[in-house]
Structure formats: structure tokens, C-alpha cells
Amino acid sequence: MKLQVAMDVLTVEAALDLAGKVAESVDIIELGTPLIKNAGLSAVTAIKTAHPDKIVFADMKTMDAGELEADIAFNAGADLVSVLGSADDSTIAGAVKAAKAHNKGVVVDLIGVADKVSRAKEARVLGAQFIEFHAGLDEQALPGYNLNVLLGAGEEARVPFSVAGGVNISTIGAVQRAGADVAVVGGSIYSAGDPALAAKELKAAII
């Protein structure tokens, strides 16, 4: 299982600083949606230039204009882009078309999708490299939030998948046991007192 750091910081400087601290422990470096909205796609270029050996994930959360948005992110240096599972099939297909042209990949993010298992299967048929079973920061803050619901859905879907939703050192083992290909970790790394150590411990917890 790969480890993906989700950098929900707001500036290129903060992103470069965080990536510099954690890169040796992670496989995929994600530029979070708030970072891309605040700093623009030049942040993607800066991270890919600093870490050319890492898979760089632009969390575009594209909802429309799939081919265009994916194309500009790939041109900026992204290796993977996210498209929302709630988008039209044609949006996902458009992003996949751009990915094929660049020899890159699309991740379909199931944030806010009610029937995650069915949509995951459809997204895979549309050409997604993997599917992100995701509970966003707002959903995580709701009473009763339970990561195990995401894990159960991922397991049931039988597609290549990642899991994002407050994954931490106590839960990363369960993410791996559910069969995930990628564990996405944001807050548990970037809010840690020592992000480098947090990333190292998460990596070490992956068997």
C-alpha cells in the first residue's frame, strides 16, 4: 500500500516546506484543493520540480470541463488529477482522455456520493486509475463519523482504491487490511508537531 500525504496548506512556501520534510516517507504528494485554489497550479509545478521522483497528485476535484481541467493540471506537472464521482460520466471520460494524452492518471473522488460502491465500479469502467473513498473534512466533523463505513465500501467495490477521511496512525492498519492501494493522510501529518516523524511512523506501520 502506498502512502499519500494530502497537503492542505495554503501557500507554495508552506507546501515546499512540508513536502521537503515528508517526501522520503511518502509515495504520492497531494496538493490539496484549498492550496490549488489559493496558490494556483504553479504550486503543482513547484512541487514537481522539487520532487521529480514522486507521484504528484493535483486534488482538482473537477466537476465540469473534465478534459480541460485535467489538461491544465497535467501541463503544470501533475501525475494524477482528481475528478468528482458526482460529475457526469462525460466529465470523467474527458479527464481520462486528457490523462491518456499525457500518459498520466485520473482518480475519481467519491466525496458526497451516496452509493459509493456502484459509482466506484462505473468510474473504473470509465477509465479511472483508482477510486478515492473519501469523507471530507466537513463530513469527518459530523457526529457519528466512522471511517469503517468507507473501508467496508472500498472492500465491497473490488476496484483499485484509496481511502481519505482522517486516516491516522491508529487506523492505517485497518485501511491496509481493507485492501486499499493508497492511504491518504492529511491532518495527521501536517498538523503533527513533527510532520517528518509522523510520516515516517505512518510509513513504518504499512506492512
Ligand X SMILES: O=C([C@H](O)CO)[C@H](O)[C@H](O)COP(=O)(O)O
77 is an interface residue for ligand X by CB under 6 A: no
Report CA 118 to chain centroid distance, whole Å.
20
Give yes or no for a contact between 116 and 86, defined as CB atoms under 8 angstroms apart: no
* CB-nearer residue toward ligand X: 33 or 45: 33
* CB-nearer residue toward ligand X: 67 or 132: 132
Q: Give the shortest CB-101-to-ligand X separation in angstroms.
A: 26
Give yes or no for a contact between 95 and 60, defined as CB atoms under 8 angstroms apart: no
* CB-nearer residue toward ligand X: 97 or 149: 149
Give yes or no for a contact between 169 and 205, defined as CB atoms under 8 angstroms apart: yes
Give yes or no for a contact between 182 and 159, defined as CB atoms under 8 angstroms apart: no
157 is an interface residue for ligand X by CB under 6 A: no
150 is an interface residue for ligand X by CB under 6 A: no
50 is an interface residue for ligand X by CB under 6 A: no
What is the residue type of 83? V
164 is an interface residue for ligand X by CB under 6 A: yes
Give yes or no for a contact between 117 and 129, defined as CB atoms under 8 angstroms apart: no
Of these, 19, 32, 77, 172, which contacts ligand X (CB under 6 A)? Answer: 32
Note the helical H segments in 58-136: 66-76, 89-102, 116-126
Q: Give the shortest CB-204-to-ligand X separation in angstroms.
A: 18
Query: What is the binding site for ligand X (CB under 6 A)?
Result: 6, 8, 32-34, 59, 136-137, 140, 164-167, 184-188
